[in-house]
Amino acid sequence: MAQRGTFITFEGVEGAGKTTQVQRLAAVLGPDVVRTREPGGTPIAERIRDIFLTSDGITIMTELLLLAAARAQHVDEVIRPALEANQIVICDRFTDATVAYQGSRGGIDLELIHHLNRVATGGLTPDLTFILDLSPEIGLQRQQTGETHRDRLDREPLERHRKVREGYLSAAKADPDRVKLIDAAQSPDAVHAAILTEYQKYLSQ
DSSP-assigned letter for residue 102: I
- 8 A C-beta contact, residue 32 and residue 199: no
Least Å distance, CB 92 to ligand TMP, is 6
Per-residue contact flags (x/-) with ligand TMP for residues 69 to 108, judged by CB under 6 A: -----------------------xx---xx--xx------
Least Å distance, CB 149 to ligand TMP, is 9
Least Å distance, CB 113 to ligand TMP, is 9
- 8 A C-beta contact, residue 13 and residue 160: no
- Establish if 153 lies at the interface with ligand TMP (CB under 6 A): yes
Least Å distance, CB 102 to ligand TMP, is 6
d(C-alpha 116, C-alpha 126), whole Å: 16
| 6-12/128-133 β-pairing | parallel
Query: How many residues interact with ligand TMP (rule CB under 6 A)?
Result: 10
Decide: helix, strand or coil at residue 130: strand
- Establish if 38 lies at the interface with ligand TMP (CB under 6 A): yes
**Binding residue for ligand TMP, selected from 5, 15, 17, 39, defined by CB under 6 A:** 39
- Establish if 29 lies at the interface with ligand TMP (CB under 6 A): no
Provide Rg for the chain, Cα atoms: 16
Least Å distance, CB 153 to ligand TMP, is 4
By CB atoms closer than 10 A (0-12, 13-18, 19+), residue 125 is middle
User: Which residues, listed in sequence order, are joined to residue 183 by a DSSP beta bridge?
Assistant: 133
User: Which residues in this chain contact ligand TMP in the complex, by CB under 6 A?
Assistant: 38-39, 67, 92-93, 97-98, 101-102, 153
